[in-house]
Chain A
Amino acid sequence: MVAFVVARFVQAIPVVFLTSVAIFFFIRLIPGDPAVSIAGLNATPEQVEALRHRYGLDRPLVAQYLTWVGRVAQGDFGTAYASRQPISHLIWTRLPATLELALGAMVVTLAIGGPLGIVSAVRPYHPLSRAVTLFNAIAIATPTFWLGILLVLLFGVRLKWLPPSGYTGITDDPGESLRFLVLPSFTLGLVGSAILIRFLSASVAEALGADYVMTAHAKGLPERRVIGSHVLKNALPPVITVMAVQFGYLLGGAVITEAIFGWPGLGRLMLDAIKAREYMVVQGTMLVFVTTFIVVNVLADACYAAVNPRLREPARR
């Protein structure tokens, strides 16, 4: 088991390395000289040159890359041009909001998708299951930005039940914080629930057809027990993987939802940095996103192996 997880992490290292190279050189492809944009319009050539030297922009690209990676490995992402703040500090202060939103969305996903996914597999011809199919098709096609706008319109503007946008830290005022959390969580989590329903119901349906289920029924176990202890135990592992990947997306990709709800998370940080041409910040947040995403994927594989012993054995072909 440990060997399996270690092997997966080792396999992920070249991908992390390649993405760091890709991110670094992508950013260098952006037209325009960062030193000129930092110095401003009225700067003399000498000032620009001094800035270029100060940020190490006059050194060869490979040397710049190695310095950057070396510092990042020690937790130093550099400083933002305009605010002079350490980028690692910016990332740390945005992390709680992003985590809170990811967890909120996950709760919505599991609360809606879990029961509906099981019901639509166990009772495929029940009217509820047909409604679930329709819900799925629509939920998957609805863009998050539209869903967000619709929810704001209904619950924020018309009914005034919930604040249309904003954020309060969970430690500052837990009740208020949760009120702000509801709409963004539903915006992100609803589509996740549609994905969960698809995979869960397919997985449960497959497990329902297995011989041991017939045996369990034949020996007179109540259906609740059959589903609970036989079907789900076999149907859940692949679903866990899908949900772990989904969580990785939530941690990294909530740019749109954060923009709609004025949520001060990592996605907003990156979006604002792109608009302000703060390339070091873009570079740092991108690296955090991609690394998180890769690590979550590896952990998902590990979870899968933990619940499915057959995968732990090294593949012999």
Chain B
Amino acid sequence: MMAQAEVRGLAGPEQVIRLRPTRGLAARTVAQLVQTRGGIFGLSVLLGLALVAVTAQALAVDDPYEVGAGDQFESPSRAHPFGTDELGRDVFSRILFGARISLTVALASAWGAFVLALPMGLLAGYVGGIVDIAISRLFDTIFAFPSILLGIALVAIRGASLANIILAVAVIYVPMLGRLTRVSVMIQLGQEYVEAARAAGASGIWIVTRHILPNVLPPLLVQMTLVMADAVLLEAAFSFLGLGIRPPEPSWGVMLDTGRNYLAVAPWLGLFAGLAVTVMILALNALGDALRVALDPRRYARTGGRAMGGRHG
């Protein structure tokens, strides 16, 4: 209080305001992101894909469900840029609509995992003791399952639907985000400023929301972009295995699954869908890496955990 009053006394109210950062965290982060090649690539590709997903209706050449929009297995042409599939549907239009499914799964499951993991991680880290042990063992148990297997089991139990895929992916990544939250909380609790706040009489809730959360959120945000990349991959994988989204829905995984049956006659079926999945994951990984640097240059490590396609066998 004294220090602030003194500053005000010396410099006047205008200067006091200038002592704060001139732009918000979001604006600064974006400004930093566009300074790296990876950040520009990730951000622009994702914005492009989001735009495509939103305007799919207008951009599509044909109705993605319309059987016989062209002949069966037409190779890519001006009328059908990515060719047509086994039912004569326009592959380009189906890819556009597939972006909707992939982005929905990515965003919803990353937020789902965040919403489930944050309170658990905060509780485990802040309360400690038996609560910490219980929550940590739960995380260990979920973590012991290879993610694709856990996902397959969850989707098989709850039935194949978009909502259940999102739920399954969210559950898979709760331990990862939860552990990160827990560790960050513990690190912050050891800092002097928390002790000072406590000495000044701040309540537990005040300390958590005002002091700990702002320090926990940046690394969580980085991890969430990686969860999104894995979510895109897992949705495609479930649908590819026939356990996820069902035909005729234009999921990229479904298109890959059909595509592999017609490799000899219509290779473009699998090619474009797989390319779409890969580009989206590349962009999310690049964005995650760039975010890691933008949000905390000191903690940047080369061996950071990107989403790894191959880990899902």
CB-defined contacts of A259 to chain B, threshold 8 Å = 240-241
Which residues in A have their C-beta under 8 angstroms from that of B170? Answer: none
Is A143 within 8 A of B149, CB to CB?
no
B270 touches A144 (CB 8 A): no
Segment touching A, from B19-27, B196-204, B257-265: B257-265
Name B248-277 residues within 8 Å CB distance of A: 253, 256, 259-260, 263-264, 267, 270-271, 273-275, 277
**Is B310 a contact of A190 with CB atoms below 8 Å?**
yes
A185: Cβ under 8 A from any B Cβ? no
A145 to B258 CA separation, bound complex (whole angstroms): 12
Chain A residues with CB below 8 A from B188, complex form: none
CA distance A271 to B243 in the complex (A): 9
Name the one of B285, B301, B310 contacting A144, with C-beta atoms under 8 angstroms: B310
A139 vs B306: C-alpha distance when bound (angstroms): 12
B153 at the interface (CB under 8 A from A): yes
DSSP majority for the A interface?
helix
CB <8 Å contact, B303 and A202: yes
* Given A149-B274, A190-B310, A199-B303, also A256-B256 (CB < 8 A): no
Scan residues 284-313 of chain B and give those whose CB is less than 8 A from a CB of chain A: 285-286, 301-303, 306-313
Chain B residue at minimum C-beta to C-beta distance from A18: B141
Say yes or no: A30-B156 contact (C-beta < 8 A), given A253-B312, A256-B313.
yes
B236 within 8 A of A: yes
The interface-forming segment of A82-90, A207-215, A287-295, A303-311 is A287-295
B146 within 8 A of A: yes
A149 near B313: Cβ-Cβ < 8 Å = no
Which chain B positions have C-beta within 8 A of A270? Answer: 149, 152
Indicate whether B281 reaches chain A with its CB closer than 8 angstroms.
yes
Tell whether A29 is near chain B: CB-to-CB under 8 Å.
yes
Contacts of B256 on A, CB cut-off 8 Å?
A: 145-146, 149
Chain A: which residue is nearest B239 at the CB level?
A145
Any A CB within 8 A of the CB of B28: no
Select from chain A the residue with minimum beta-carbon distance to B240. A145
A209 nearest CB across to chain B (Å): 13
B152 adjacent to A140 (CB under 8 Å): no
CB pair B241–A143 under 8 Å, yes or no, is no
CA distance A108 to B248 in the complex (A): 37
User: Does the CB pair B313–A157 fall under 8 Å?
Assistant: no
Q: How far is the CB of B296 from chain A (nearest CB, A)?
A: 18
Distance between Cα atoms of A191 and B309 in the complex (Å): 7
Q: Is A244 on the interface with B (CB-CB < 8 A)? A: no
B308 touches A290 (CB 8 A): no
Q: A143-B274, A145-B236, A270-B149 are in contact. Are A249 and B285 (CB under 8 A)?
A: no
How far does the alpha carbon of A143 sit from the alpha carbon of B145 in the complex, in Å? 20
Which residues of chain A are near B306, meaning CB under 8 Å? 140
Q: A141-B278, A188-B310, A293-B146 are in contact. List 14 more A-B contacts (CB 8 A).
A: A29-B157, A137-B282, A138-B282, A143-B278, A146-B270, A146-B275, A149-B270, A153-B263, A153-B267, A153-B270, A191-B310, A253-B313, A282-B153, A286-B153
Q: Pick the 8 closest A-B CB pairs, nearest first.
A: A191-B310, A146-B274, A253-B313, A254-B313, A141-B282, A141-B281, A253-B146, A18-B141
9 sample A-B contacts, Cβ–Cβ < 8 Å, listed by A number: A26-B154, A143-B309, A195-B311, A198-B302, A201-B302, A249-B311, A254-B313, A257-B313, A290-B145
